[in-house]
Amino acid sequence: MFFDPPLLLPKTTLLTSGHLMYFCVTEQLDFQYYIKEFDLPDTLNSYFILVTLHIWLCTVRLANQGSEGEIVRNSMVEIMWSDIEEKGKNLVQSKASTSVRQALEKYNNTLLYMFLSLDEGLLSDDKTLAGAVWRTIYEQRDNVDPEKIELLVYYIRKQVHHIERIDSFKLLSKGVVQFLNIHGDKVNDRFLRMAKQQQKL
């Protein structure tokens, strides 16, 4: 009989870290700016795609953290779905739109595909990653500016490299993930402001 090795951190800490990591992701992203820079439509679907992209970036890092990373990842994805569903329900109530319900069903079907496609692209060359970006983030649109795809490929590569350097204990115990700005290699200003606010509490 085989037993899983004991966790290095309490499971409750890991579950909380997953929730905090999700909100760390969403609070850092200026969605209107990201939509503009990556030339995405201003829709709930684009919000979901951008959130999923950054959640995926976190899962790439967590994949190297064994059972602890798996617990944090599952917790993060769980709270993501709760948040997305709540936003969808609010839109349904405010607009009485069946398109939102259909979108929520679509997200459930496309999340795994997006993760798998980006995983494959990340492990391959930039051309393969660009194809994954076009299929998942741009949903195979015909009129996508190639420079936007190139920007996203560069963005993904640099974020993965940056996140790999985050201290594992901080990652698992605090759920802290900081991203770089879209352009350049400076840490997202929103993250720095969040950190200062937390220090004052």
Question: What was the pLDDT predicted at 43?
Answer: 86
6-32 residue pLDDT tens:
788 999 999 999 999 999 899 889 999
In this prediction, residues 157-164 reach a mean pLDDT of 96
Average pLDDT, stretch 116-122? Answer: 96
Q: Taking 80 as the threshold, does the pLDDT of residue 185 lie above it?
A: yes
Q: Cα–chain-centroid distance for residue 195?
A: 19
Looking at per-residue pLDDT, the higher value among 135 and 97 belongs to 135
**pLDDT bucket at 168, cuts 50 / 70 / 90:** very high
Helical H runs in the chain? 11-28, 31-38, 44-62, 66-95, 98-122, 126-136, 146-163, 168-174, 189-200
Ordered by start, the domain boundaries in the chain are 11-193
CA distance 48 to 178: 19
Mean pLDDT estimate for the chain: 87
Residue 128 vs residues 57, 99, 125, 163, 196: alpha-carbon distances, Å: 17, 32, 5, 21, 39
Q: Does the pTM of the predicted model rise above 0.85?
A: yes
Residue 137, helix vs strand vs coil = coil
Question: pLDDT by residue (tens digit) across 68-115?
Answer: 999 999 999 999 988 877 776 666 555 545 566 676 677 777 788 999
26-81 pLDDT tens trace:
988 999 999 999 999 998 889 889 999 999 999 999 999 999 999 999 999 999 98
Average pLDDT over residues 147-161: 98
Tokens 């998942």: give the residue: 136
